[in-house]
Amino acid sequence: MKLFRFSSPATFYPLAGKLIPSFAVVATATILVGLYWGFFETPDKLGGTNPQKEYYRIIFIHVPAAWMSMWIYLVLAAYSAIGLVFNTRLSFMLANAAAPTGAIFTFLALWTGAFWGRPSWGTWWDWDPRLTSELILFFLYIGYIALHSAIDDPRRADKASALLAIVGLVMLPVIFWSINCPDPNQCAALHQRSSMSQMEPNILWSMLIMTFGLWMYSFVAIFMRLRSIILDREADTTWVKELIAQEKR
Amino acid sequence: MVEFFSQGGYAFYVWGSYGLGLILLIAELVQLRNRRRTILARLGRLMRVQSKTQGGRRQSET
């Protein structure tokens, strides 16, 4: 069936290898453009209801990293579900390959948030709903990776950790709506509700470009990791043996 | 230039954020490259050992 043509590790391995350089070029270019725009074409200070000084420029890495942390988790859970339903090896391998990159972005979102919170709110950390739920997302990534590596049989490890990933999906709406504070006097939410149309256009665009750049980067990292996972788990197959024999020549 | 690096006195926070981002992404790429090299080397060794033992068996059979 044509739909499943690239769903076998043997066909996806060379395809991923061909795609990696293009993703790397696009990622590098967009990240550089985003950083230049963000640092040189934006105002130094923000006025309005929420005055911010130069430290607000952390936004160009903080928001993209936080968005990617949630997006990669969604991708991880989706591939886990596809793997459980269709019993396709490649889906589980993709989920496996995505987890460490997602964990890195989650950690980066928390870290840059602390570095923003210190000058802005006067504290590195607070048990605010959004910060807490993002921290739980980080633990979910770690739990997924740990559970998978704790089970020796790879097929059982795939299924058990896929189930964990799907259950953990409940955290995404919690993170997303954790800013819904109807009355600021009743509950304190450090992240305020904001809409893209209210943002200064230069800041908005640099942020969106950086998000795209980090997204392209995650393709590079995840495909590289996927290729190693495929080689590892398909080591006994003839196509991997032929591939190794060819590389030696 | 100095003005750019000082970021209005918030250099520690701004570069502390971007610095860790850069370190994490580069470290991930280096780790991935090393992992691939290790696997290829291991599979190559495995192939050599297998072809040697097969060759040995063939010699003993004749």
Question: What is the per-residue DSSP string for A223-245?
Answer: HHHHHHHHHHHTTTSHHHHHHHH
Mean pLDDT score of chain B: 86
- Which ipTM did the prediction report? 0.89
Is the predicted pLDDT of residue B62 greater than 50, yes or no?
Answer: no
Asked whether residue A5 is assigned to any structural domain, the reply reads: no
Asked whether residue A23 is assigned to any structural domain, the reply reads: no
Asked whether residue A92 is assigned to any structural domain, the reply reads: yes
User: How many CB atoms sit inside 10 A of residue A188's CB?
Assistant: 10
What is the chain A residue with the closest CA to B47? A241
- Chain B 2-61, CB below 8 Å of chain A: which residues? 4, 7-10, 13-14, 16-18, 20-21, 24-25, 28-29, 32-33, 35-36, 39-40, 43-44, 46-47
- The number of distinct structural domains making up chain B is 1
- Chain A 42-71, CB below 8 Å of chain B: which residues? 44-45, 53-55, 57-58, 61-62, 65
Higher-confidence residue of A191 and A169: namely A169
User: How many CB atoms sit inside 10 A of residue A45's CB?
Assistant: 10
What is the domain range of residue A210?
Answer: 29-248
Region A127-143: what's the mean pLDDT? 94
pTM: 0.91
List CB contacts of A12: < 8 A, sequence separation 6 or more: A6, A90, A226, A230
Which residues from B are below 8 Å from A51, CB to CB?
A: none
Asked whether residue A6 is assigned to any structural domain, the reply reads: no
Which residues from B are below 8 Å from A241, CB to CB?
A: 47
Structure tokens at A115: 């570095």
Is the predicted pLDDT of residue A135 greater than 60, yes or no?
Answer: yes
Q: Which of A110, A210, A32, A120 is nearest to B10 (CA)?
A: A120
What is the chain A residue with the closest CA to B12? A115
Q: How far is CA A53 from the centre of its chain?
A: 28
Mutation target among A224, A239, A249 for the B interface, most CBs of B within 10 A:
A224
Asked whether residue A143 is assigned to any structural domain, the reply reads: yes
Region B41-50: what's the mean pLDDT? 88
What is the domain range of residue B24?
Answer: 2-61
Is the predicted pLDDT of residue A149 greater than 50, yes or no?
Answer: yes
Asked whether residue A21 is assigned to any structural domain, the reply reads: no
pLDDT value, residue B47: 85
- The number of distinct structural domains making up chain A is 1
